[in-house]
Amino acid sequence: MNDLHTGAPEPATEPELFVEFANTARLSAEPMADDSHDAEILATWLDEHGLPTAGRSRVTAQLPAFRGLRALVREVAARLDGGRQPTRAQIAAINRVLREGPHYHALRTEDGGAGFSVMPVGDELDQARSAIAGSLAHYLADHDLQRLRVCADDSCRWLFVDRSPAGRRRWCDMRTCGNRAKVARHRARARASA
Ligand SMILES: [Zn+2]
């Protein structure tokens, strides 16, 4: 899918974290895929987005949870794209991910009470997933739900937020997917008139 989007990006808008996660964390949907490769991609993505990554082996161990969150984001987006609301089950699933996120600090004694240290308690990768789910939750609460779309190009299916004034965008990027659709229509017309 990546090679479809090598052109310059659309004019800058603030990207939603959950949209970026659904589109660029190119985790295979199937567990039998190459896990170490996926872990590498995911760790790099988390790092690039300022999210906690923990160690590579922990990222590998938590791949199923990230894949699950990615599937959830895409399912919610598909509902909205079809003009429907998220289901109760989807909302409960988002809340479960959010609940796993919080962490707290704990004061510990060291050297038999001679000193203290403060350590964060909680799983870094749970926090990363919670940040992604939080971005989705805030989007659902604060934005026009009809503007979250799934690209109409079947070979793409990226998520995007339609920020055009008219709100009728069908493709994630006019210069790639939109242009392919235009070329295909043009060819079909040429064939029909031939
Ligand atoms: Zn697209």
* Mean pLDDT confidence for 181-190: 80
Report the number of distinct structural domains present in the chain: 1
Look up the domain containing 64 and give its range. Answer: 13-193
Residue range 17-50, pLDDT digits in tens: 999 999 875 555 554 456 788 888 899 999 999 9
What pLDDT score was predicted for residue 1? 40
Measured in Å, residue 130 CA sits from the centre of ligand 1 at: 26
**pLDDT value at residue 14:** 66
Mean pLDDT, range 143-153, rounded to an integer: 92
Is residue 3 a part of any domain in this protein?
Answer: no
Q: Are strands 104-110 and 159-161 parallel, antiparallel or unpaired?
A: unpaired
Q: Is there a domain that residue 110 lies in? A: yes
- Residue 132: which residues within 8 A CB-CB, separation 6 or more? 17, 18, 21, 51, 69, 73, 97
pLDDT by residue (tens digit) across 73-131? 999 999 999 999 999 999 999 999 999 988 888 899 988 888 999 887 888 899 999 99
Cα(23) to ligand 1 centroid in Å equals 10
User: Is residue 2 a part of any domain in this protein?
Assistant: no
Grade residue 65 by pLDDT with cuts at 50, 70 and 90: very high
Is 50 a member of any domain? yes
Tokens of 178: 């939109």
Q: Dihedral of the CA atoms 39, 42, 43, 49 (nearest 10)?
A: 180
Tell how far the Cα of 165 is from the centroid of ligand 1, in angstroms.
19
CATH number of the domain where residue 143 is located: 1.10.3300.10
Show the 3-state SS of the chain: CHHHHCCCCCCCCCCCHHHHHHHHCCCCCCCCCCHHHHHHHHHHHHHHCCCCCCCHHHHHHCHHHHHHHHHHHHHHHHHHHCCCCCCHHHHHHHHHHHHCCCCEEEEEEEHHHCEEEEEEECCHHHHHHHHHHHHHHHHHHHCCHHHEEECCCCCCCCEEECCCCCCCCCCCCHHHHHHHHHHHHHHHHHHHHC
Return contacts of 137-144, CB within 8 angstroms, 24+ apart: 137/94, 137/98, 139/16, 139/18, 140/76, 140/86
Distance 78 CA to ligand 1 centre (A): 14
**Minimal CA–CA distance to 21: which of 74, 58, 57, 60?**
74
Q: What is the mean pLDDT of the segment spanning 147-159?
A: 90
Residue 188 lies in a domain: yes
CA–centroid distance, 184 to ligand 1, in Å, is 14
User: Quick check: pTM over 0.75?
Assistant: yes
CA of 145 to the centre of ligand 1 (A): 19
Q: How far is the CA of 142 from the centre of ligand 1 (A)?
A: 25
Record the tokens describing residue 190, joined without a space: 């040429």
